[in-house]
A = this chain, B = another copy of it.
Amino acid sequence: MTAPRLDILGIGNAIVDVVAPVEEEFLAKCDLRKGGMTLVDEAAARSLYDAMPPGRESSGGSAANTCAWAAGLGAKVAYLGKVADDQLGQVFRHDIQAAGVHFPSRPLTGGEPTGSCLVLVTPDGERTMSVFLGAAVGFGEPDVDARLVGDAAITYLEGYLFDPPAAQAAFRRAATLARAAGRQVALSLSDPFCVDRHRAAFRDLVAGHVDILFANEAEICSLYETGFEAACEAARRDAAVAALTRSERGSRIVRGAETVEVAALPTTVVDTTGAGDAYAAGFLAAYVAGADLRACAQLGSAAAAEVISHFGARAQADPQELRRTVGV
């Protein structure tokens, strides 16, 4: 086994976010489940878009956000995901490449348009998302580059990838290839309802194929269908490392008998979009640099605090500054 040439290879649904502020009543009027992610078809996405206020577009996608953040933090990062050969696909490609992430995936031609996520932000900073997967459903096994997986110390997979059927197979192939190459697999559970949709498959994966598990409280409780404390112990048993985030209550990291608790950093919450993605990036950037679990969690918390203090899921401040603050 040679030394990895990449720190992180992220694989996920490549989508562009359309972010707009709304009042609580708008969610009720449009029958949207607050705080959740709902998969919608193109017609439903268009209908909601027509009803919502003016938006701002920026590149998103959970694992893509993590990759952009991790590259900003100095990690060597590549990303695989499917966009179309259209304007939003060009925007996605530009943004992730400009963030310093290698993005070799070829665009889908003649199929669905680039996927989008309508992100509605209520005054409390909570985001409610409606995702039209679009070209992302075209991502499958042939898109997983075995050489790239073998080159990466960690292959990072977003749970949302379980929603497009062909991506499930790609997901399993990437995990298998990474393990076969002696590399590590990280998984973010993404969303409690995503976990609910694919619980058995996720439990199987976590128990058998995941080295580093990221989940928030709702997700880990959904995975094990129990309370937080019991879920932590189940995660301790199943995953080599589990980083479990609890919003303003910070995060708990479990690894074998070891438990680390790290506080959240105080900040003014503007938009929680991308908080978990940024946390994972901070954690992993420190992890690949050989930091201890506490420092990994601290860099995760610092990244999450930065991203929730403004609209949008990518960094506005210089991520390297956060790294200096944490001392990693």
A314 CB within 8 Å of chain B: yes
Q: Is the CB of B58 within 8 A of A56?
A: yes
**Closest Cβ–Cβ distance, residue A96 to chain B (whole Å):** 8
Residues 102-141 of A, flagged 1 when their CB comes within 8 A of B and 0 if not, give 0000000000011000000000000000000000000000
> In chain A between 22 and 60, which residues have their CB closer than 8 angstroms to a CB of chain B?
49-50, 52-59
Q: How far is the CA of A58 from the CA of B58 in the complex (A)?
A: 9
A95 CB within 8 Å of chain B: yes
Q: How far is the CA of A258 from the CA of B199 in the complex (A)?
A: 74
Q: Is the CB of A55 within 8 A of B88?
A: no
Q: How far is the CA of A144 from the CA of B99 in the complex (A)?
A: 42
By secondary structure, the A interface counts as mixed
**Closest Cβ–Cβ distance, residue A149 to chain B (whole Å):** 25
**Closest Cβ–Cβ distance, residue A161 to chain B (whole Å):** 22
A94's contact among B50, B87, B94, B312, by CB below 8 Å, is which? Answer: B50
- Residues of A with Cβ closer than 8 Å to B? 18, 21, 49-50, 52-59, 68, 86-88, 91, 94-96, 98-99, 113-114, 312, 314, 316
Q: Is the CB of B113 within 8 A of A87?
A: yes
A52 closest partner in B (C-beta): B98
A91 closest partner in B (C-beta): B57
Q: How far is the CA of A231 from the CA of B155 in the complex (A)?
A: 64
Can you list 5 A-B pairs, Cβ within 8 angstroms, ordered by A?
A52-B98, A53-B99, A56-B56, A56-B312, A86-B86
Q: How far is the CA of A86 from the CA of B54 in the complex (A)?
A: 17
Q: Is the CB of B94 within 8 A of A55?
A: yes
Of A57, A114, A314, the most chain B CB neighbours within 10 A belong to A57
Assess A54 versus B59: contact at CB under 8 Å? Given A86-B87, A87-B87, A87-B88: yes
Of A95, A114, A312, the most chain B CB neighbours within 10 A belong to A95
Q: How far is the CA of A52 from the CA of B53 in the complex (A)?
A: 28
Q: A56-B58, A57-B58 are in contact. List 8 more A-B contacts (CB 8 A).
A: A54-B94, A54-B96, A54-B314, A56-B56, A56-B312, A86-B86, A87-B113, A87-B114
Of A56, A58, A88, the most chain B CB neighbours within 10 A belong to A56
**Closest Cβ–Cβ distance, residue A73 to chain B (whole Å):** 15
Which residues from B are CB-within-8-Å of A54?
58-59, 68, 94-96, 98-99, 314
A57 closest partner in B (C-beta): B57
Q: Is the CB of B88 within 8 A of A53?
A: no
**Closest Cβ–Cβ distance, residue A55 to chain B (whole Å):** 7
A88 closest partner in B (C-beta): B87
A87 closest partner in B (C-beta): B87
Q: How far is the CA of A316 from the CA of B20 in the complex (A)?
A: 10
**Closest Cβ–Cβ distance, residue A58 to chain B (whole Å):** 5
Assess A95 versus B314: contact at CB under 8 Å? Given A86-B87, A87-B86, A113-B87: no
Which residues from B are CB-within-8-Å of A98?
52-55
Which residues from B are CB-within-8-Å of A56?
56-58, 312
